[in-house]
Amino acid sequence: MDSRSIVYQVDPCLFRDGDGHSWGTLGGVTEKLDHLAGLGVDALWLLPFYASGDRDGGYDVVDHCRIDPRLGDDRQFDLLVRRANALGMQVIVELVVQHTSDRHRWFRRARSSPHSRYRDYYIWERQPRRDEPQTMFPPVESGTWRRDAAAGSYYRHRFYAHEPDLEIANPRVREEIHRIMAHWLDRGILGFRVDAAPYMVERAALADPRDDGLAHAHAMERR
C-alpha cells in the first residue's frame, strides 16, 4: 500500500446480511469481495467486529481477540482475509485500545479490589481531578470522571462513562496491546487503524516526558 492506494471502509454489521438474520456479517463481506476488487479497491478497512457491550457501535470492546458471534467466527474471518488477499486486497482492522467496555474482564477485576493486578490498567483517583480536558461528548457526559461504587474511587473516561480509559503509560497495558496486535497480525491482516490515537499519546507520554508517545506506537508496529 502507498498514498495512491484505494482503501474501502466496511462496517461489517451494516454492509451485507450473509445469513438471513437482517444483520451484516463477515460472510456477507466475503460475498462482495469480487465486486470490491472490480472497483479497484486495494485494501479493506474493517470497523470493529469484536465482542462488545453493544452500546457504541462496537467501540465498547469486551474482548479484543473474540469476534462478535452475530458477525461470524474465526473461520469466517480467516476466509475473508484469504479471499481478499487472493484478489489482491489487503485487510486493515480497527484497533480500539484507548479504552474498553466497563464489561471487559480487565475492568471487572480492576474494580473488584485496590490490590487487583488489573487495577492500574485504568486511571483511578479518590476524587475527580479538576484540570482534566472536557469529555468528547459534553452534551451526554458531564465530565471525564465517574465514581464506581464497587471500587470506591473515580475512573477516567474521555468518551462515554461505560468506556473507561486504559492507562497507556503502564508497560503492562502496552504488553497487552502488543498481544492483541500480534493475534490479528498472525491471522494475516496488513495492519491497523488506531482509534483515538491522540488520547493514547497524551497518556503514553507520561511514561517519559521526552517522548510524544509515538515511540511506543512504533515499537508495537515492529513487534
Report all structural domains of the chain as residue ranges with CATH numbers, in order of start. 7-98+170-219 (3.20.20.80), 99-167 (3.90.400.10)
Give me the chain's average pLDDT, please.
91
Pick the closest to residue 203 from 194, 195, 213, 193 (CA basis). 213
For the segment 4-23, the average pLDDT, to the nearest whole number, is 87
**pLDDT tens-digit series, residues 67-114:** 999 999 999 999 999 999 999 999 999 999 999 999 999 999 999 999
Rounded CA gap, 183 and 192, in Å?
A: 12
pLDDT tens digits for range 17-56: 766 777 899 999 999 999 999 999 999 999 999 999 999 9
Quote the cell numbers at residue 202.
497524551
Q: pLDDT value at position 59?
A: 98
pTM as predicted: 0.90
